[in-house]
Amino acid sequence: MSELTRLSVDEMRTGLLTGAFTALDLTDAHLKRIDATNEQFNSFLTICADKAREQARVADERIRKEGSQSPALCGIPIAIKDMLLTDGVETTAASKILKGFIPPYDATPVAKLKERDSIILGKTNQDEFAMGSSNENSAFGPVRNPWDPSRVPGGSSGGSVVAVALGQAPLSLGTDTGGSIRQPASLTGVFGMKPTYGRVSRYGVIAFASSLDQVGPFARSTVDLAYALDAICGYDSNDSTSMKREVPAFREELRKWEGKSLEGIRVGVPKEYFIDGNEPDVQAATQESLKTLEKLGAKLVDISLPHTEHALEVYYIIAPAEASSNLSRYDGVRYGYRSPNAKTLSELYSKTRAEGFGREVKRRIMIGTYVLSAGYYDAYYRKAQEVRTLIIDDFKAAFNNHCDVIAAPVSPTTAFKIGEKAQSPLAMYLADVFTIPASLAGLPGMSVPTTLDRNGLPIGLQLLGAPFTESTLLRVSQALEHAGNFDTRRNCS
């Protein structure tokens, strides 16, 4: 039943309710797909076959009893980034230092999916502790791009995005700290959304940079994204940054706007995102998408976000500083890897961390420790926070006075070759130059697949909104999706 892996979530839901197939059928089809493709693409670190089948049997029974009153994601298979804790299932953040760690509880987004009797297929590969833009930093090997296995899928949520692009799962969860949902979505031709900071609970999500991390979904259509958002969004008292805001019924909102024009929507076009460093095909694709938005009834408005040029530097001070603090807990004492070569307590700390962390993680810990140290805090960290406020103010001015949505490139390039930027940290960091500003501002953002470059590689359009305007982004995404002919299911069979 390989055709089941090509279905949208909407189609899966219909099939489950009509009895065309069961949740167990869906689960088996996706597990078979994972088994056939994972060795080549390395998207899953842990596959929960037995648990998934048991969950599927429970879901089938619930659907039999409750029918259309069962939760929308009941019986739908989902893949989970290894950054989210899963009760009884190894969670490593793709790091040697956490190999063998079995969490005693679920992250809130995972718990919400389990409450709905969704099927957890397994844990996906990623850059170690979500630090990377290519998924080459995993302690368990790189993930490969389905459009060209010699290329990266983007990062850090590379395994989650490839699971969806390959048809290993119809939905997956990733995390986005500086672009780790939007950039891989663009590089692999799927839809990905980073919700507003505070919209989705971070409880049980392994911390990288606490003021930036946010959980979000990958899917093969706008409607499927809405299914996931309906399930995972909402206030959580366990997370002090979770916002007490009413959550829209995202799928209902989309139904309301389906087939209607974008008349009344003002789309801001920031000049700072159209730079000489963009590949010509990326620049051309973005311009073509803007023309499509105009044809759909939207009004294009030229805007300026003047402090964008400082965002990369600000991010690579704030994020490493927070990482330095968060990762200090991995010391070989309480859980995770412990160096067998240590003879003293001091050696236990130093050798465990030297042997357990990968090169990129150690680099960022050292940067973060430096900028927080005496004599440098004011010069670096405090100054970076001040400039972050200016970046936030730029977006506030744009949304308050000029536009409802901002449209821009996701990444300056399409997917690059594995190893191409591995020896140049700065070149790698520049892959997130267009996604980082919205992360610093805590804004919702998404990538919408639009076209292919001359090498047949996907290009996405980035849509950004004011806080808690995910519905508006989904409306624009749906209009673009229906106006185009991008095949998000190409790699699913």
Question: Three-class SS of residue 269?
Answer: strand
Is 194 within the bounds of a domain?
A: yes
Position 336 confidence tier, pLDDT thresholds 50, 70, 90: confident
Is 121 within the bounds of a domain?
A: yes
Q: What is the pTM of this model?
A: 0.97
The boundaries of the domain holding residue 47 are 2-258
383 catalytic? Reply is no
Number of folded domains that form the chain: 1
Tell me, rounded to whole angstroms, the distance of Cα 61 from its chain centroid.
32
Is 174 within the bounds of a domain?
A: yes
Q: Which of 43, 81, 95, 186 is flagged as catalytic? A: 81
477 catalytic? Reply is no
Is 431 within the bounds of a domain?
A: no
Question: Three-class SS of residue 417?
Answer: strand
Paired sense of beta strands 299-303 and 266-270, if any? parallel
Is 102 within the bounds of a domain?
A: yes
The predicted model gives 235-264 an average pLDDT of 96
Is 31 within the bounds of a domain?
A: yes
Is 245 within the bounds of a domain?
A: yes
Beta strands in 293-404 (DSSP E): 299-303
325 catalytic? Reply is no
Nearest to 178 by CA among 442, 424, 394: 442
Q: Which of 95, 157, 160, 180 is flagged as catalytic? A: 180
For the chain, what is the mean pLDDT? 96
What is the per-residue pLDDT for 2?
A: 65
Residue 482 amino acid letter: H
CATH of residue 105's domain is: 3.90.1300.10
Q: Residue 194 forms beta bridges with which residues?
A: 445
Tokens 């070759």 belong to residue: 417
Position 427 confidence tier, pLDDT thresholds 50, 70, 90: confident
Q: Which of 156, 172, 201, 411 is flagged as catalytic? A: 156
The predicted model gives 7-20 an average pLDDT of 97
Is 14 within the bounds of a domain?
A: yes
Q: What are residue 83's phi and psi, to 5 degrees?
A: -85, -15
Task: Render pLDDT for 153-197 as a digit per residue (tens, 0 to 9).
Answer: 999 999 999 999 999 999 999 999 999 999 999 999 999 999 999
Question: Three-class SS of residue 220?
Answer: coil
Query: What is residue 474's DSSP assignment?
Result: H
